[in-house]
Amino acid sequence: MSTESTAGPAKIRLRHLQQAKVEGRPFTMLTAYDQFSAQIFESAGIEVLLVGDSVGTTVLGHASTTASTHQDMLTFTGAVARSVTRPLVVADLAFGTYESGPADALRHGVELVRAGAEAVKLEGGAEIVPQVRALVDAGIPVVGHLGFTPQSVNSLSGHRVQGRGDAAAEKLVVDALALQGAGAAAVVLELVPAAVAEAVTEALEVPTIGIGAGPRCDGQVLVWQDMAGLSGFHGKFVKAFADLRGQLQAAAEQYRAEVGERRYPGPEHSFD
Ligand code: KIV
């Protein structure tokens, strides 16, 4: 007998994402790095929270995700994992923690799981199959990441759409199938032409999760500060569903004005 209510499962597992793909129901993933944003996204019903290495560029002030460290990922994964119960928590393996081989990937993956991750994400295709196998064999679910892979921003010569042209599109499908064959439970597709992302999605049994990859992926992911209009980043693939930057600035300006005019704190904010 199923214990799942009509509101959906009390805890999102990878099998629910798989089920969503089979049933043609798109699901959502948002990045999260801290307690309050994670809790708000849980309340909003977001199924998957990604503690992305984008924490480096959205929270820590770095220019590239290559600056995010394993310790950063452990700290922010712990913060998110302790703050929510329902969403699936996925954490990024930081740049430099898995490229050298399966043993390194496994060691760092185990530490992310100890910090609270329920799956780990790493960037790359067929070349990281041994790492994916080692993680999966150890019981650590893996999410792949293809297309524009931010940790390779230097070798990809900047933020550019990947998979254009027949050969590149074919390579994406081959890489995605290799990740799936190694046991990956889902694959993120970043900055990929919509038609190519659709072809990858059709070729795979596991779900694809798109960011700048059109509407036909099984799920969608955005960096939360872009989604909420806090970062001010207006890339073509981004839709800002709020104006947090404007609202926060207005609030700070009003606070400053009220303090300057001695209107805040008032008697109701003061102790006898
Ligand atoms: O780190 C991140 O935020 C990501 C998303 C862009 C998918 O990997």
- Determine whether 152 is exposed, middle or buried from the number of CB atoms within 10 Å of its CB (0-12, 13-18, 19+): middle
State the chain's mean pLDDT as an integer.
96
What is the tally of structural domains in the chain?
2
Are 145 and 230 in a shared domain?
yes
pLDDT over 90 at 3, yes or no? no
Residue 138 sits in the same domain as residue 126: yes
- Res. 143 pLDDT band, cuts 50 70 90: very high
**What pLDDT score was predicted for residue 158?**
87
Instruction: Name the one residue in this structure whose structure tokens are 């293809």.
Output: 146
Which residue minimizes the CA distance to atom 4 of ligand 1?
A: 52
Give the residue numbers of the binding site for 3-methyl-2-oxobutanoate.
53-54, 92, 121
**Residues comprising the binding site?**
53-54, 92, 121, 123
Q: Are strands 219-222 and 27-31 parallel, antiparallel or unpaired?
A: parallel
pTM: 0.96
Looking at residue 225, which CATH number applies to its domain?
3.20.20.60
At residue 205, φ and ψ (nearest 5 deg) are -85, -30
pLDDT digit string, tens, across residues 225-260: 999 999 999 999 999 999 999 999 999 999 999 999
pLDDT in tens, 178-205: 999 999 999 999 999 999 999 999 999 9
Q: Are 231 and 268 contained in the same domain? A: no
Residue-wise pLDDT for 6-25, tens only, equals 678 999 999 999 999 999 99
